[in-house]
Amino acid sequence: MRATELSELAAFDAVARHRSFRRAGEERGVTASAISHAVSNLEARVGLRLLNRTTRSVSLTDAGAQLLEQLSPAFAGIGAALDALNRYRDTPFGKVRLNAPNSIAPFVLGPVLGPLLERNPHLELEIVATDRLVDIVEEGFDAGIRLGESLGEGMTAVRIRPRLRFVVVGSPAYFASRRVPKVPADLEGHVCIRNMYPSTARYPWSFVRKGRHVEFQPSGPLALHDHELMIEAALAGVALAYVWEDRALPHVADGRLVRCLDDWIAPEDALYLYYPSRKYKSAGLQAVIDALRED
């Protein structure tokens, strides 16, 4: 098989998995138009349409679905064979694509990136931080990071560092005319930021004390999904914020924010790195797991 034919098949495989020329191009490190050209050449060579294209979607024809079914294990085998060469190297070689929530990525990945890349100079990391709910298989990630161990079928989860928890904070200016809340019920008399996901679905402020669980759903005028914006709003004295503790700590330390309800803050949440169980686990991904794994 000629190199051009293999490249065309790899381009088709990427488009078929992502259902997107743009995402396929990002994975392959080329433009979407180059991917489209390669797939068109493949279709011309085999004399069959493999993909149905519209301005908004890409889908497989029956012929394309059959080709993908046979190509997938072949490319997985090629990837495994190439990765097996890592045994002859001092460190892993290749790219690892990770997805992590933007709200926690700095605290999870920041401390390990330097040492990880220093120990593995041939490793290439591609990290996408977003609080949007991501299907790591569909979007071509090797692994993802999330709170909680509840995952979809066919996923393996590994507990990683650090453990995170929320904190309620407000500025001294905000509290100048208001009492500091002592119990969650006191929040009813305060202006509180409504936490939400990028989908705009809201999640409550969660509290626990002596086995008693309390959930508070704010009804204030401000709804945000970005924790940095929540911190900025709290610093400006606009409202109380319910954010990751590590984001607030520098501002608490310099006196610009005051924390409250600490006796009611829920225990630390465990973080997990997860990846498809049936997909070959590369030496590069194993190096990332080893760097993040909880002791």
Q: Hey, where are the domains in the chain?
A: 3-71, 89-162+270-292, 166-267
Structure tokens at 93: 């070689």
Check residue 90 and give its pLDDT: 63
Q: What is the mean pLDDT of the chain?
A: 88
How confident is residue 250, by pLDDT bands cut at 50, 70 and 90?
very high
pLDDT tens, residue by residue, 66-93: 998 888 888 878 777 776 776 666 677 7
Within this chain, domains 89-162+270-292 and 166-267 share the same CATH topology: yes
Check residue 93 and give its pLDDT: 79
| pLDDT for residue 252 is more than 70 | yes
DSSP string, 40-68: HHHHHHHTS--EEE-SS-EEE-HHHHHHH
How confident is residue 234, by pLDDT bands cut at 50, 70 and 90?
very high
Query: Sign of torsion, CA 18 22 23 26?
Result: positive
| pLDDT for residue 292 is more than 80 | yes
0.75 cut: is pTM over it?
no
CATH architecture of 166-267: 3-Layer(aba) Sandwich (3.40)
DSSP string, 111-141: HHHHHHHHH-TTEEEEEEE-SS---TTTTT-
Check residue 122 and give its pLDDT: 87
What gap in Å lies between CA 147 and CA 162, rounded to an integer?
11
Check residue 200 and give its pLDDT: 86
| pLDDT for residue 185 is more than 80 | yes
Query: Which CATH topology does 89-162+270-292 take?
Result: D-Maltodextrin-Binding Protein; domain 2 (3.40.190)
Q: Average of pLDDT values for 178-186?
A: 95
Tell me the range of 128-132, 255-259, 289-293 where mean pLDDT is highest.
255-259
Give residue for tokens 């790899």: 10
Q: 215, 206 in Cβ contact below 8 A?
A: yes
| pLDDT for residue 3 is more than 90 | no
The DSSP symbol for 256 reads: S
What gap in Å lies between CA 274 and CA 277, rounded to an integer?
9
C-alpha distances out from residue 281 to 67, 95, 122, 136, 289, Å: 24, 12, 17, 14, 10
Check residue 86 and give its pLDDT: 62
Q: Average of pLDDT values for 156-165?
A: 87
The rounded Cα 232 to chain-centroid distance in angstroms is: 23
Check residue 217 and give its pLDDT: 94
What gap in Å lies between CA 175 and CA 253, rounded to an integer?
17
pLDDT tens, residue by residue, 127-151: 999 888 888 887 888 899 987 655 6
Q: 102, 226 in Cβ contact below 8 A?
A: yes
CATH number belonging to domain 3-71: 1.10.10.10
Structure tokens at 211: 């086995």
Give residue for tokens 């190096």: 287
Check residue 291 and give its pLDDT: 93
Indicate the SS3 state at residue 38. helix
What gap in Å lies between CA 277 and CA 291, rounded to an integer?
19
Q: Where are the alpha helices (DSSP H) in 120-195?
A: 172-175
| pLDDT for residue 98 is more than 80 | yes
Check residue 88 and give its pLDDT: 61
| pLDDT for residue 267 is more than 60 | yes
Q: Average of pLDDT values for 256-278?
A: 89
Check residue 1 and give its pLDDT: 61
Q: Where are the alpha helices (DSSP H) in the chain?
A: 3-18, 21-28, 32-46, 62-84, 105-119, 172-175, 227-235, 245-253, 283-292
- The three-state DSSP-derived secondary structure of 267-282 is CCEEEEEEEECCCCCC
**Percentage of the chain exceeding pLDDT 90:** 49
